[in-house]
Structure 1
């Protein structure tokens, strides 16, 4: 009799507990949103640091190498 009541209680608890646990619907969207927010915060932090660095040092100017002049195609003179 004790075993019957224990089985009955387990069945009742299983029926009343609801569906088995599973990941929340839309959890991928939450993960993507969190990663996007982290990326935006990191970008803002790096931009602030870069602006502070440039304010103290001044922006660095990249040196551009001069392109060699293109030679004109040679025109053959006819011997005649």
Structure 2
């Protein structure tokens, strides 16, 4: 993702409004709007990349938890 379109691409990909994205990454709606039409700051870009990493890790954790539960069910049957 290019920095100049990072906000728009992220909102489109996640189907979020600027306000929703701001709440997820710790920025105000106005800061996100300004970044969408200007340059995305390095801290905001980092916050977005960390948000994606967190989402990925949460998905992996859910997969592990599901596997753990399936294994428990199998061993208890």
Give the TM-score taking structure 1 as reference length. Answer: 0.41
TM-score, with length taken from structure 2: 0.43
Higher helix share: 2
**Who wins on radius of gyration, i.e. which is larger?**
1
